[in-house]
Amino acid sequence: MVHRFLLLALVLGSVAPATADECLTAQTARTGFVLERQGTQAEVRPSAENFVHVVNLYPGGKKQDVIYYRGLFEISRSDENGRRFNVPLSDLRSIFPLDPKARRAFTYAPAEPSRVGAPISLEMTVAGQEKLQLGSCGYDVLIIRNRLMNPEGRVLSEHTDLYSSELGFVLGKRYDDKGGRQTTVLYQRIRPLARSAPL
């Protein structure tokens, strides 16, 4: 009887910790973290001067390197299709701090190694906050509506970022579909970068 009790205790003890997710905070996120969604993972590495380096790994072996300013504005993207840049023409530091009801606008020029495109104006409006779940971890995110316009003022595209100020990164995006419906694309899990396989 005692042996059965000890065996049961050992089994339960070995199973219980494996089911718990390790939720990151603003402090622990500084050492990096991994976001996962449907076979895709993003290895997020904050670096000096508010820049964030992200390695996206896709099913099939495709790899992509992206540099963001504070995990929100994309500066550069490099993959098997080439390199692309967004050259800021406004001071990116003026975007932050962000709080509910904040409105920001700045201009950048999309570029490739061989050419620079026409400037694009980006209008950002914080529409509120909501709570997102990544596995068993919950994070407050700012709902940031983005509208991109060409030099003539024509709207090129619109989307919504779900941005975690705590983690310093976009945890999901929302797109308006025809008919007034919305599509939301979210990461599903988060874990410390130290547990990921080496590159």
Q: Give me the CATH code for the 22-195 domain, please.
A: 2.40.360
For residue 194, what pLDDT is reported? 73
pLDDT digits (tens, 9 = 90+) for 15-57: 333 334 689 999 999 999 999 999 999 999 998 789 999 999 9
For residue 21, what pLDDT is reported? 63
Domain ranges across the chain? 22-195
| Structure tokens, 52 | 């964030």
Rg (CA), the chain: 20
Is residue 1 over pLDDT 80? no
Is residue 76 over pLDDT 80? yes
Nearest to 170 by CA among 20, 54, 90: 54
